[in-house]
């Protein structure tokens, strides 16, 4: 099971870290692993890097894109995509500062929809040390 954290990175940092994703990943990883006594510093750094996610708009957008699809369902705040033909089970939850995606696959069906919604999404998988801008991953997978 892969757990992806997706952040809406501010434009100036997208331009700065495009091509050097590992540096941005290391900053976000350090914030993720911070101790309780460093929380104020981490919070300020985090807010400098990311834009807040418009939770209600994104929830509605995902629902409208997938609601007629048979493998899709929504329970509370969790969007679920269960496609047996692709052997994919993905659960997406939208928070105010990030999006959490749990997936059995390396490439989730939610990625393409999120990329259409916002080109500045940066994806981190802290356990497997993976990171990428969603726009670059979706462009590569289409070719």
Domains along the chain? Answer: 2-142 (3.30.310.250)
Within the chain, which residues score under 50 in pLDDT?
A: 140-143
Please give the C-alpha separations between residue 15 and each of 114, 116, 132, 140, in angstroms, as whole numbers: 19, 18, 14, 19
Question: How remote is the C-alpha of 61 from its chain's centroid?
Answer: 15
pLDDT number for residue 143: 32
Specify the DSSP class assigned to residue 118.
-
Tokens matching residue 109:
């069906």
pLDDT number for residue 139: 58
């Amino acid at each position: 099971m892969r757990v992806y954290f997706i952040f809406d990175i501010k434009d100036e940092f997208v331009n700065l870290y495009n091509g050097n994703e590992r540096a941005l990943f290391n900053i976000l990883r350090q914030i993720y692993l911070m101790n309780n006594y460093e929380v104020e510093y981490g919070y300020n750094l985090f807010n400098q890097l990311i834009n807040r996610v418009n939770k209600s708009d994104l929830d509605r957008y995902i629902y409208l894109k997938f609601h007629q699809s048979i493998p899709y369902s929504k329970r509370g705040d969790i969007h679920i995509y269960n496609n047996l033909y692709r052997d994919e089970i993905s659960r997406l939850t939208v928070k105010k500062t990030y999006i959490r995606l749990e997936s059995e696959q390396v490439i989730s069906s939610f990625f393409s929809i999120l990329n259409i919604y916002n080109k500045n999404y940066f994806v981190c998988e802290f356990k497997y040390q993976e990171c990428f801008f969603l726009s670059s991953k979706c462009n590569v997978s289409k070719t």
